[in-house]
Amino acid sequence: MIDDLLLQKLVCPVTRTKLRYDPDRQELVSEAAGLAYPIRNGVPVMLVEEARKLH
């Protein structure tokens, strides 16, 4: 689970757009960049190198 306030403040480091939380995969998804950033131990990992490509 990710804090709602944190989710409102975080943006994609590539596109600077909002992120969508995927609770099943524990990821923050950037539709604009086509990337999903992992959440590990409750901490979002906002590194492009660690992100999963959606396409």
Between CA 13 and CA 18 the distance in angstroms is 10
**C-alpha radius of gyration, the chain, whole number:** 10
Chain-centre distance for alpha carbon 45: 8
Assign 40 to helix, strand or coil. strand
What pLDDT sits at residue 1?
79
**Section 36-55 average pLDDT:** 96
Q: What angle do CA 1, 23, 46 make, to 5 degrees?
A: 75
Q: What is the mean pLDDT of residues 37-42?
A: 96
C-beta of residue 38 within 8 angstroms of C-beta of residue 20: no
At residue 55 the predicted structure's pLDDT band, cuts being 50, 70 and 90, is confident
